[in-house]
Amino acid sequence: MSTYFENSELNYLPMVEALLKNPLNGAQVRIHLTLDTGFQGGVLIPLKTYVKLGLNLAEELKTIGRTALGGRVELRTSRVVVVVDGRRIPCHAYTAVGVRRPLMGREVLKELGLLYRPPHKLGFPALG
């Protein structure tokens, strides 16, 4: 698997290189995704990538997402296939105006066997 850490102002971001495929028309694009255990969905991609894949032509109902700060955002939603290290993972693709950094969320990470366990499930005390 092509994974690496990207140095962004000394804050190392876990990254993975993947291929996104439209399951209907075969369009595909290679992309670098930041792993985000706080994102429940499959992949969050820039609108330009979403349209390039033609995902806008087979959209599902829009979804309301919550940001890390609690804000609400309306997300366009479609189906996509993520290919990582030869593994094909069907999932949801989301986008909205202003999305700049592509993310890979828990919907895909779970299928790859990369599970996130909250600190309280590991025996650490709750914060706050």
Residue 94: pLDDT over 60: yes
- Closest listed residue to residue 102, CA positions, set 25, 28, 13: 13
Q: Average of pLDDT values for 34-38?
A: 89
- Give the total number of structural domains in the chain: 1
Here the CATH number for the domain that contains residue 32 is: 2.40.70.10
H or E element: which one contains 73?
Answer: strand 72-84
Q: What is the pLDDT of residue 63?
A: 87
Look at strands 28-35 and 103-104 and give their pairing: parallel
Instruction: Give the separation between CA 5 and CA 8, rounded to whole angstroms.
Output: 9
Q: What is the pLDDT of residue 37?
A: 86
Is 128 a member of any domain? no
Is 123 a member of any domain? no
Which range marks the domain in which residue 20 is found? 3-115
Is 121 a member of any domain? no
The pTM for the full model equals 0.81
Q: Average of pLDDT values for 66-87?
A: 91
